[in-house]
Structure 1
Amino acid sequence: MDLQSSESTEPQMLPPRPGRFASRDQMIEHVGDFGVSQGYVVTIKHSKKDIYVLLGCDRGGKYRDRRKNPETDSAESSRTQKSRSRRTNCQFELYGRKEDGVWVLSVRNGTHNHEPMKDLSEHPACRRFKDDEILQIKEMTEAGLKPRQILKRLRKKNPELLSTPKQVYNVKAKLRSGVVTAQKFKCLRPLKGPNSSFQTPAATEATWRQRLFPRVPNFIEGSFLDSQSSATIDVINPANQQVVYILPITTIAELKAAVFAAKRAFDSWRNTPVLTRQRIILKFRELIHRDKDKLASSIAREVGKTLKNSYRDVYSGLEALDLACDAATSDMGQFVSSVANGVDVYSIREPLGVCAGMCLSNLSAIIALWMFPLAVVYGNTFILKSSLKDPGVCMMLAELASEAGLPNGVLNIVHGTDDIVNAICDDDDVKAISVAASKTYGMYVFSRASPKGTRVQNYTEGSSHVVVMPDANVDYTLNVLVGVAFRAEGERCFAVNTVIFVGDSKSWESKLVERAIALKVTAGTEPDADVGPVISKQEKERICKVIQSGIEKGARLILDGRNIVVPGYPHGNFIGPTIICDVTTDMGCYQEKIFGPVIMCMQVKSLEEAINLVNECRHSNGASIFTTSGASARKFQISIETGQIGINVPVSVPMPFISSTHPEASFPGQAGSQFFTKTKTVRQQWNEFPMEEEAGVPILMD
């Protein structure tokens, strides 16, 4: 055995494989993780944001003694020292460049001139500040202390701290930009393996939500990435007008990166066993149930819904997840044996690829959970465009999905206006779009996306009519009307705004007013709130104008909630329960969807007249009848043309497997298996074919 050659052999450190990444941070993180596993530390040598980044090897920050020894300072020894000096940079070099919205990594030089580090925890980068130290730096900075003074106090508590005043200064700069977590100051990632001695402290809450006014990031390939857009929208709490979030509008390049990430993740995700996909969704459901309080509070704060309704939205989303957990195995293909001589025929359902969804503001949690869990459990990847008025819920769902084990790139979330919607419709890699919007907007998405073969599914918003027969149970009917018209602030897609009384309505009016006045109007975050604010000041002004237009046309106002004063919330977008009577079909208040806590009472002489009135309404997508007559209920069920019908119950939010649109629309709601999968039919024959000189091969004849 040659001991000399054995000692000179250095362990080989491999470079990361070249590839394409959705973002700069994701590329750097990948390179850093791989380098740590090989025993070297990657550092940024040079960078120009959004253009390129040059990465090199950090040899550990250890330099030889630069003091010269006159006795040995000869030309030969100088050359030897120079070649062995740690001042000579490692030639390892990687290059990343942004091309068409995607970062491309290439290896310029994959070799090193040093041995792997045996203990990465000794690297100075591992001695950076912890979360509690960063908070102390923030407090001491606000108190006026200089970096050297701050570092001196920190070292009293942690004598092993190796950080420098320059690093304190860098932390202060980060703090000014709103970052308050140690993860942003780490240049090393935790080692991948059970024997790792270096661990990065996990953040208990997403960084973006720890800022004073959180800037909502995109969620692309498993990472929360700040948008480079300068165009932003303030997400306002409708109860007090305070800024909850700052929402940047996703750029087209960022959307392309999200689509690329989803497309890249599709092949591995579709080949993931269906039981594994189901287990991830089951875990996701468990985490949502665990954090239901946070989700409900977020809905109440951003949209203005009461906590009761916010919890109801979360539970409706959990019901959609129940369907998704069972969908992939319950809807299997078909098999027909021996359709011809030795020929079997069977069909299988396969995922489409990259799918997209667009959320409504009034049902953000429900709509999101209708869409992406069902799509991904069938093997698709998903791009979710959040609502501009309440993006926080979607981002919380993204955090929980990652915690549940959903692979990077399977779910991506962007934010935007019409430009992003158009870009999603025009992208050839998007195979299906599920949109929750008005019928007009849904038709626009359909007309733009469908010509190139993209599937479009629409959950339409609208209003519901309630027909009250003279024989209806009075107390039960009134309790239902108050609940579905006022307690949801009138903002649900199937909220009741129009009540049609067959016969005289006078006997109902006073009792309806009595129950409406008893409701408490306050901020949705208050536990005892019955009616919360409407979602924006513009929406409040529009609702008030619609009410006034009906009064000017002759409608009778028996309860006016437009000028209600809510103690403690003088600037809130509050409208109290409002009741308008003697409404006719030619009034603007009837022709326009109100989306507010308003009931319009109409009177007709017969059930036939009530049915015709409902069928002629352009924005009705549901209707209910309250009666004790089975004959009236049956006639109503047969004659009504809306997509949702209730008999002695209000029309509720539908589940994904039930159509929720007008039956004459071009894109009725479909079962998830039909919309998010495609059918493939296979014919097979496995006969023992005779030799060529014998009889010919049998064929299937029509």
Structure 2
Amino acid sequence: MTNVSHRIAGEPVSTPATLDVFNPADGQVIRQVALADTDLVNDVIRIAREAQPAWQATPPARRAQVMFRFKALLERDAAEIARLISEEHGKTLDDALGELRRGIENVEYACGVPELLKGDYSHDAGPRIDSFSNHQPVGVVAGITPFNFPAMVPLWMFPMAIACGNSFILKPSEQVPSTAVKMADLLQEAGLPEGVFNVVHGQREVVEQLIDAPDVRALSFVGSTPVARALYEGGTRNGKRVQALGGAKNHAVVLPDANLDNAANALIGAAYGSAGERCMAISVAVCVGDETADALVDKVVARARDLNVGPGTEDGMDMGPLINAGHRDKVFGYLNAGVEAGAELVLDGREHPMVSHSDGYYLGPTLFDRVKADMSIYTDEIFGPVLCVVRVSSLDEAIQLINAHRYGNGTCVFTQSGEAGRVFADAIEVGMVGINVPLPVPAAYHSFGGWKESLFGDLHAYGPDSVRFYTRRKAVTQRWPSSEHTDVVRLTFPASS
């Protein structure tokens, strides 16, 4: 059995306590991951703190060269990384490769760090006074990442953090540990100095220790809203900079003028891709008018029935299993709750043959119609392949419905009307908006983040906000008076005029 160790100062480190890692496609234990204790976490924080000053003193152009080499190594080993993701998460190989490619885009953005760290300069801001500003690293920063994107979400964080001159401690989900270790090895191969990037595995106790550690200056997190809120409150209480991305309930509005074939095809991918285990998954289709809803439901059901569900490592699969048995049972519970609340279960994923004929954690595509806003299948983030259809009478009603929800991560509208698209984009209280784009994940040179209970903190993930998050701005004002100039004593507050 393969053991997944920590990576500290470029070396594998094992610890006595371990946890089984399962392949969700068949329920079998495939690896064991080492779990950190208090002493090991203290050691890795010390190592990261000691490595950071020399890395900060390294010119940004040389730091960028490490990122260029790291990008090339990720591309070289893409197939191996995708296999690791699929084995431990369950998503298909194609989906895993897509996740990795989106992560690599963030490495590409970090390669431009010499330009991104350029400050401002003002000559003669006052009499013989010049002012300039620059970006300096925060110090030791940590990232706590979820199971659903073992490569992409960490790549939202550590490439830019490292490129900006910080050292980084990654605590990946213990359910999908191998990808993080693989990326640590590639960083070392790319020439990153020892101690600048470290991986520690663990559970809640490790996270709490990172929250409380004085030498950890900033925390990045992606996960559920309750944990995001607790981490944000704990980190900020300890004086840390925190960005904590939480849950979502993403809506797609389908207007009567929409191309319904296009909308149905898009919803199949957005609702059922990666078994719905995406924070940007569309889990609610808001149909304007019964005619629109009836036609869309028919098209989605027909397409969903044709999806190939099975092990993600096998060719031709459209959807793999859920992450573990406990989560599968939780999703099953939501299906029961939806039926009890009066929603119409049009397509029951529990009836899929893989559910009864496999030891894996499967649920087929599921569709509810006539869902109401007070049902738990509407209010809660289910995080499974479950699409709910809500019927409304107008675009205004759809907007009001979405704006009333506690989450505000992503949304989209399907329409052929430019006016309707613009009204929707302006009025909706959601951080990321698509118009005929079901998963409006911003490109790497923008930033990713929601509103309301989907984000705690002022700065979004990756893109320009990541430079702001992983650096502190310093303003310098300097004066070089001429040798003939003699100062006089001034007690008034200085002004530029």
Common fold: TM-score over 0.5: yes
What residue in structure 2 maps to residue 439 of structure 1? 225
Counterpart check, 1:515 vs 2:298: no
Instruction: Tell me what 2:339 maps to.
Output: 551
Contact 1:263 1:354 in 2 (8 A): yes
Residues 485/471 of structure 1: CA separation in 2 closer, same or farther (3 Å cut): same
Inter-partner Cα distance in structure 2 for 1:245 and 1:536: 15
Aligned partner (choices 232, 240, 250) of residue 36 of structure 2: 250
Tell me what 2:260 maps to.
474
Question: Alpha-carbon deviation of 1:636?
Answer: 0.9
Q: Does 1:658 align with 2:451?
A: no
Q: C-alpha separation between the residues in 1 aligned to 2:130 and 2:459?
A: 33
2:45 is the counterpart of 1:259: yes
Look up the match of 2:387: 599
Could you say what secondary structure the match of 1:448 adopts?
Answer: helix
State the shift of 1:566 in Å: 3.0
Count of residues in Structure 1 that have an aligned counterpart in Structure 2: 486
1:306 to 2:92 alignment? yes
**What is the rounded CA distance, in whole Å, between the counterparts of 1:622 and 1:351 in structure 2?**
30
The residue number in structure 2 matching 1:648 is 436
Counterpart of 1:483 (choices 269, 277, 280) is 269
Q: CA deviation at 1:288?
A: 0.3
- 1:569 Cα deviation after fit: 6.4
Whether 1:223 and 2:1 are equivalent positions in the alignment is no
Task: Confirm or deny that 1:686 pairs with 2:475.
Answer: no
Deviation at 1:474, TM superposition (A): 1.4
Distance 1:633 1:480 in 2: 17
Identify if the C-alpha distance between structure 1 residues 559 and 345 changes in structure 2 by more than 3 Å, giving closer, same or farther: same
CA contact (8 A) 1:593 1:619 kept: no
User: Is residue 401 from structure 1 mapped to residue 194 from structure 2 by the alignment?
Assistant: no
Q: Are the aligned partners of 1:661 and 1:668 in contact in 2 as well (CA < 8 Å)?
A: no
In structure 2, the gaps of 5 or more residues are none
Q: CA deviation at 1:451?
A: 2.1
- Contact 1:463/1:619, CA 8 A, preserved across alignment: yes
Q: Deviations over 1:507-556 (max 9, x none)?
A: 22222111111111110111210011011111111111101111111111
For 2:468, the equivalent position in structure 1 comes to 674
1:128-139 alignment runs, 5 A limit: none
Match of 1:537 in 2: 325
State the 1:389 CA deviation: 1.0
Q: CA deviation at 1:669?
A: 3.1
Cα distance in 2 between the residues matched to 1:581 and 1:367: 32
Distance 1:275 1:446, change over 3 A: same
- 1:701 aligned residue: 494
Contact 2:116 2:467 in 1 (8 A): no
- Displacement of 1:620 in angstroms is 4.0
SS state of the match for residue 487, structure 1?
A: helix
Identical aligned pairs, as a percentage? 35
Following superposition, the deviation at residue 263 of structure 1 comes to 0.6
Q: CA deviation at 1:341?
A: 1.3
Output the CA distance in 2 between the equivalents of 1:592 and 1:408.
43
1:616 paired with 2:410, answer: no
Q: Is the 8 A contact 1:462 1:621 kept in 2?
A: yes
In structure 2, the residue matched to 1:343 is 129
Partners of 2:211 and 2:487 in 1: how far apart? Answer: 54
- Indicate yes or no: 2:376 matched with 1:583: no
Corresponding residue SS for 1:523: coil
CA contact (8 A) 2:145 2:221 kept: yes
Instruction: Map Cα deviations across residues 322-380 of structure 1 (whole Å, 9 max, x no partner).
Output: 11111332341100111111110111111111010000110121111111110010100
Q: Which residue of 2 aligns with 1:498?
A: 284
Matches of 1:331 and 1:432 in 2, distance apart?
A: 18
Query: What is the Cα-based RMSD across aligned positions, in Å?
Result: 1.8
Aligned to 1:196: none
The 3-state SS of whatever aligns with 1:310 is helix
Say which of 378, 390, 397 aligns to 2:164: 378
Q: Does 1:448 align with 2:217?
A: no
Give the number of the structure with larger relative contact order, counting CA–CA contacts within 8 Å between residues 6 or more apart.
Answer: 2
Offset, 1:267 = 1.1
SS of residue matched to 1:488: helix
Q: Does the 8 Å CA contact 1:482/1:516 hold for their aligned counterparts?
A: yes
Distance in 1 between the 2:177 and 2:448 partners?
A: 26
CA deviations 1:603-622 (Å, max 9, x no partner) are 00111111111111223411
CA–CA distance in 2 between the matches of 1:438 and 1:328? Answer: 34
| CA–CA separation in structure 2 for the residues paired with 1:285 and 1:695 | 54
Q: Work out whether residues 235 and 302 of structure 1, in 8 Å CA contact, stay in contact via their aligned partners in 2.
A: yes
Contact 2:135 2:472 in 1 (8 A): yes
| 1:101-158 deviation digits (Å, cap 9, x = unpaired) | xxxxxxxxxxxxxxxxxxxxxxxxxxxxxxxxxxxxxxxxxxxxxxxxxxxxxxxxxx
Do the aligned partners of residues 317 and 659 (structure 1) sit closer, same or farther apart at CA in structure 2, a change above 3 Å counting?
closer
Does the aligned pair in 2 maintain the 1:459–1:669 contact within 8 Å?
A: no
For residues 72-91 of structure 1, the C-alpha deviation after alignment (integer angstroms, 9 at most, x for no partner) is xxxxxxxxxxxxxxxxxxxx
Which SS does the other structure have where 1:356 is aligned?
Answer: strand
* 8 A Cα contact 1:425 1:445, kept in partner: yes
Give runs of aligned pairs for residues 18-33 of structure 1, distance below 5 A.
Answer: none
Deviation at 1:597, TM superposition (A): 1.1
- The residue aligned with 1:392 is 178
Q: 1:271 maps to which residue?
A: 57
Secondary structure of 2:112 counterpart? helix
Residue 470 of structure 1 aligns to a residue whose secondary structure is: coil
* 3-state SS of 1:280 partner: helix
How far apart, in 2, do the equivalents of 1:547 and 1:523 lie? 23
CA 1:645–1:292 in structure 2 vs 1: closer, same or farther (change >3 Å)? same
Structural mapping, 1:359-374, within 5 Å: 359-374=145-160
Answer yes or no: is 1:413 the counterpart of 2:176. no
Partner in structure 1 of residue 80 of structure 2: 294
Residue identity opposite 1:668 in structure 2: D
Please give the TM-score of this superposition, normalised by the length of structure 2: 0.94
Cα distance in 2, alignment partners of residues 629 and 428 from structure 1? 53
Is the Cα contact below 8 Å between 2:103 and 2:156 reproduced in 1? yes
Q: C-alpha distance in 1, partners of 2:487/2:428?
A: 63
Q: Check if 1:239 corresponds to 2:25.
A: yes
Q: What's the secondary structure of 1:599's corresponding residue?
A: strand
User: Rg: which structure is higher?
Assistant: 1
Contact 1:464 1:651 in 2 (8 A): no
Query: For the Cα contact (< 8 Å) 1:460–1:660, is it kept in 2?
Result: no
CA distance in 2, matches of 1:398, 1:333: 30
CA contact (8 A) 2:310 2:354 kept: yes
Partner of 2:36, secondary structure, is coil
Mapped to 2, the partners of 1:620 and 1:696 lie a distance apart of 57
Is the CA contact (8 Å cut-off) linking 2:412 and 2:440 kept in structure 1? no
Aligned-pair CA distance for 1:690: 4.1
CA distance in 1 between partners of 2:408 and 2:386 (Å): 16
Q: Distance in 2 between matches of 1:434 and 1:638?
A: 29
